[in-house]
């Protein structure tokens, strides 16, 4: 098992599979029952805000919340599973965060069809 200190992760760049820099890690969310990191709090770059049609705050930068199950790996930067074009955002309530909801699968992907069908129900 590989263990990292929070100080090592803070400030690391977050990039998508296609190499697009989304932002950098601000903090971690931990489930205190299982003691596992569940989400990353990420400061989004200003150019990315515009492309994703997120509001730019008057002071500071927008923070998004990325579930750790959407991370494919980490080294000198943290790499997300989806490509930039496959990302969409939905508003979250916790600390004005926005939770990452990547859209996976191609139109012919059976898993994607099941998820769409479940949402309509």
> Domain residues of the chain, as ranges?
6-120
> Using a CB cutoff of 8 Å and minimum separation of 24, what contacts does 74-80 make?
74/4, 74/9, 74/12, 76/12, 77/12, 77/13, 77/14, 77/15, 78/9, 78/12, 78/13, 78/14, 78/15, 78/25, 78/40, 79/15, 79/16, 79/17, 80/14, 80/15, 80/16, 80/17, 80/22
Better pLDDT: 97 or 7: 7
- Residue 92 is predicted with a pLDDT of 44
Q: What is the dotted CATH code of the domain comprising 6-120?
A: 2.30.30.240
Total residues found in the chain within this entry = 121
Query: How confident is the model over 11-34, as pLDDT tens digits?
Result: 899 999 889 999 999 999 999 999
Token readout for 90 is: 């939905």
Tell me the pLDDT tens digit for each residue of 48-105: 888 777 777 777 778 888 889 889 988 889 999 887 877 766 654 434 445 555 433 3
């Amino acid at each position: 098992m590989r263990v990292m200190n929070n100080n090592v992760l803070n400030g690391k760049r977050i990039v998508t599979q296609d190499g697009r820099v989304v932002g950098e890690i601000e903090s971690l969310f931990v489930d205190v029952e299982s003691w596992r990191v569940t989400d990353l709090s990420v400061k989004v770059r200003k150019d990315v805000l515009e492309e994703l049609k997120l509001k730019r705050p008057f002071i500071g930068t927008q923070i998004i919340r990325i579930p750790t199950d959407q991370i494919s790996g980490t080294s000198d930067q943290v790499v997300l599973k989806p490509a930039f074009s496959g990302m969409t955002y939905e508003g979250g309530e916790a600390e004005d965060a926005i939770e990452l909801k990547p859209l996976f699968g191609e139109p012919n992907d059976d898993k994607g069809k099941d998820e769409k069908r479940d949402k309509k129900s």
